[in-house]
Amino acid sequence: MKSRIRVILIAAASVAIVVATAVFFQRTQSSASSLKAGERLFYERNYSRALAALSTAHARNPEEERAAWYLYLTYLRLDRQKEADALLADLNPNGIRDSGILAELGNYHYEKKAYAQAARCYAGSLSLAENPAVRRRYAETLVWQKSYSRALAELDRLLRSNPSDWRLQELRADVLSWDGQYVKALGRYRELCLAGYHREAILKKMAPLLGYAAADSAGKGFGRELLSEKSGVTDPAERPSAGSPVHHAEGSEVIPSRMSSVPDADRGRGLAGKASVSGMYLHTEESAVRLLKRHPDDEGLLRRAISAHEAAGHPEQALALYERLLTKRPHDPALATAAARTFAWAGRLDRARQLYGAVIRGGKATDAARAEYAEVLYRDRAYGDAADQYRELWKKGALKSKQALDYSRALISLREYAAASGVLEELQRREPENSGVIEARADLAFALREYDRAERLYGTLIQARPQDPVLYGRLADIAMARHDYPKALGISRDMLRKFPSSENALLNIARISSWQRDYSTSLEYYDRLLGSVHASSRHYREKARVLGWMRAYGRSLRLYREAVSRYPEDSALRAESEAKKHYYRNAYRSSVRAYRSWLLAEPHHPEALFDLGQLYMQQQRWREAAQTYDALLADMPDHRQAATVRKKIDVLSSLRRLESGAEYFSAKSASRLTDVNWTGLRTALYMPIRDRVSVFVKFDRKDYRFESGRHTPFSNALTAGVEYRNRPDIMLRAAYGFKQNSGDLRDSHTGSIEAESMPLDNLHVDLAFRREEVIENYETFSSHLQKSRWQGRVLYDGFRRWNAGADYALDRYSDGNSRTNIGADVTAHLFYEPTRLSVSYRWQNYGFSDRSGVYFSPESFTTHTFGLEWQHFLNDEELYRGTNDTYYSAAYRVSLEPGSSLSHHVEAGVYRDWNSRLSTSLQYQHTWNSKEAVYEDDRLSAQAQWHF
């Protein structure tokens, strides 16, 4: 019978497991399908339907952060800010590891004209994956921010991979003119004119620059010469359309071949065509739009309007027209391919992928179209799919040089380094002088941390392109990756000599100097940046951070306020300023909220992640701290401070430690009935039992001497306890102790219950109950005198410069006596680390209910204590939580006691972390009274702590 029951139970359990697994699998699959559909609808800009799908995906799997972030983006697009903010409260900004999400956040901020915040998002996206469309938009945001040198660097990077993009060339010339580099801008414009690109429009741009460049006569002559040219320079629109596309962006071209075969419907269309031939693209656009309103179904006019929008550099306005044409000709592969190019140009990579995919699935795609499809996949960060497409074309030899380079970079992104190396070796064999191949090989070597090889290749590129400051910056990056900061400084100073206004060089020197704690040099170069044309909110922010590292918190906050007033549209700056304000005043909860907002504006920002991790460590929230530093190290694996802290977190979060110490104490006072002397040895072991719960056991041995050595008892005490931590909300600790005394002395039972909480930021509340022995002299010891103490303390530390506290205690003695104690104190910090100097004042009054002839028990005893405390750190690096500290300290206090008596107290100590696991400390203190024989004590203690 029992065996049958057992079989039935096993069968029932098996069925339950199978059903539960099936339900879980079904929910997981359903969530994944909803997420996939939601993402597709989101990129199709169908936000209402995307909201339904993403809400379903998030509800079925709340732990899926990708669904949550796309849902958040959808709420933003629908202007449902309240729902977006509510969802953000449950999200972890550190978890954004998807470059697409960052790019979409950037697009949202760009459309809202929050260019600074958009730039941060685009930079974060590009740090995860290269995307020319995102980099182009990043460059545009830098232009809006007037960060012209940075914009030029990004445009140079784009042009190296696509030098025939005339629109980018024109934009680069424009930026040079806006940056005041008029001669260089004129040279670029001249090259564009000679190439036949928008000749008359470019000449109009050149006219005012001639005066700015102080070359009026020569410039006017050059302008007349260009205007009189009738041969050798032709407008792109005058060239044969077939086989001669005008490139406006990567993979895009005008499609006039089919339009030229459509006869003009009326005189207006003829005028539009003439405007196009003359190169007046804006007029063409206006004419075509007006005609299209009159003849909305004319396919020829649709095509002309598309061509006009593209020629004027407005691909976004051509997209709707392409959609109308595609509804008329849904099976035209040439039209679908042309539309896909323009959608890709406009950054609508999702639609471009759909169009290319349809052409390829129809079996009518050429190798060129497949290569363009692979380019779109690469730009859309679908490196795996892009590599698959490229791989087949690479084997067939159907890839152009740039496409092959993109293939190698996709392989590098996938960490398929061997395959990338093979592609680059073949490209090197085919085109040994192609600088793009050499640069890709250098980038591969850098990714492989083959710094010597990368350095050689970048050096070769510098010989070919000695005026390219980006390459010198790469050499400085290599030196910094090796932590060879002197060399990086040397390279940066050489850059500054070659390029006196180089923002990159000035910034490198300022940054490296701050890392080496050469703060005066760092501030000098930040001031040079802030006084130059390159001044930007980023430079204000970095200088303010350096002031914070110097503990000049007031100056730092003033600089943040100045930056916010100069750049009110920079939401990332405002977020950082707010975060630092709360961080500097040690407001934990407000700081965490502010840092999360900062990380939303600038995902994976190293400063934000590092500070947030420090906040978590301060409250012993080891899991959150570990996740934060893991996110930082995933982006910056060579971040030494983060690596040090992460290692320390592993040690501290284990909650396993052993403490051992020795102590000597002696106190004498004839008038205050004090005579005790003891030496002690103690050992404590702490072990975790759960994530936030640990237990401990302590052993304490003491040998006493009383009345000049006539009594020498000893005691052995064993204490066991449990501790629960959920800071800053609550920390609870409870302990019970048993103390065995020698000879006929009675044994003792002791114990304690403690609670610590921070109910509001900067407001600390401590409550405790303790049962302990009173050992003032041999009589109190032998009579087994004990007391029960109830105490509470409130402390406010809302400002870095000072804190204040108050406390109350009530002691109940076993002989029926009682004592009340009231105190208040304030501490001001004059200097901060590495040398901390503080002054303090404390008022205290205590009194007993009854007088005792056994121990000192005044009715009322008031003291006024003034203190001076000094602490000096000897750390080689910057101070932060998680580093290994070495410091020594000293203090002096003087107390005014009743009867005009002065009590003096001095102490000195030294502390050292030998490594992340072992630390030791030594401390001595001495107290004496100005009136002889009133009171005197000495204490010497040593302790070692080992985490295992």
Count of positions (residues) in the chain? 948
Per the CB < 8 A criterion, the answer to whether 944 and 660 are in contact is yes
Q: 491: which 2 tokens?
A: 């390279």
The CA-based dihedral angle spanning residues 529, 532, 533, 537, taken in that order and rounded to the nearest 10 degrees: 40
Per the CB < 8 A criterion, the answer to whether 827 and 803 are in contact is yes
Average pLDDT along the chain, 948 residues, taken 10 residues at a time: 58 56 48 78 77 82 78 82 73 68 83 83 84 87 86 88 80 85 82 73 73 47 41 30 29 28 32 34 63 80 83 83 89 91 88 91 87 90 88 89 90 89 89 86 89 91 86 90 90 90 90 91 94 89 94 93 92 94 92 94 91 94 93 87 92 91 94 93 94 94 84 94 95 96 92 96 96 94 94 90 94 96 96 90 96 93 97 84 92 93 96 94 95 88 95
Phi, psi angles (nearest 5°) of residue 475: -65, -40
Phi, psi angles (nearest 5°) of residue 801: -80, -25
Long-range contacts (CB closer than 8 Å, 24 or more residues apart) made by 217-223: 219/186, 222/190
Is the omega angle on the peptide bond into residue 333 within 30 degrees of 0, that is, cis?
Answer: no
Per the CB < 8 A criterion, the answer to whether 812 and 788 are in contact is yes
User: Which H or E run includes 207?
Assistant: helix 199-212
Place of tokens 């960490």: 415
Place of tokens 């501490």: 827
Q: 269: which 2 tokens?
A: 């269309």
Rounded to whole angstroms, the Cα distance separating 384 from 406 reads 12
Beta-carbon-side half-sphere exposure of residue 933 (alpha carbons within 13 Å): 3
Calculate the alpha carbon distances from 877 to 628, 641, 688, 824 in Å: 21, 9, 32, 37
User: Which H or E run includes 698?
Assistant: strand 693-705
Beta-carbon-side half-sphere exposure of residue 350 (alpha carbons within 13 Å): 13
Looking only at the bridges linking them, the beta strands covering 786-799 and 763-773 are antiparallel
Rounded to whole angstroms, the Cα distance separating 342 from 306 reads 10
Quick count: other Cβ atoms within 10 Å of Cβ 567?
Answer: 20
Rounded to whole angstroms, the Cα distance separating 903 from 671 reads 14
Buried b / exposed e along 245-261 (16+ C-beta atoms within 10 A): bbbbbbbbbbbbebbee
Buried b / exposed e along 103-112 (16+ C-beta atoms within 10 A): bbbbbbbbee
The DSSP code for 93 is G
pTM of the model: 0.60
Three-class SS of 374-399: HHHHHHCCCHHHHHHHHHHHHHHCCC
The DSSP code for 639 is -
Rounded to whole angstroms, the Cα distance separating 314 from 311 reads 8
Per the CB < 8 A criterion, the answer to whether 942 and 921 are in contact is yes
Calculate the alpha carbon distances from 798 to 545, 761, 843 in Å: 20, 8, 21
Q: Is 647 helix (H, G, I), strand (E, B) or coil?
A: helix
Calculate the alpha carbon distances from 747 to 705, 744, 773, 811 in Å: 18, 9, 11, 21
647: closest CA among 915, 920, 912, 919? 915
Three-class SS of 400-437: CHHHHHHHHHHHHHCCCHHHHHHHHHHHHHHCCCCHHH
Rounded to whole angstroms, the Cα distance separating 667 from 656 reads 35
- pLDDT in the model for residue 922: 97
Rounded to whole angstroms, the Cα distance separating 402 from 699 reads 73
User: What residues are paired with 511 via a beta bridge?
Assistant: none
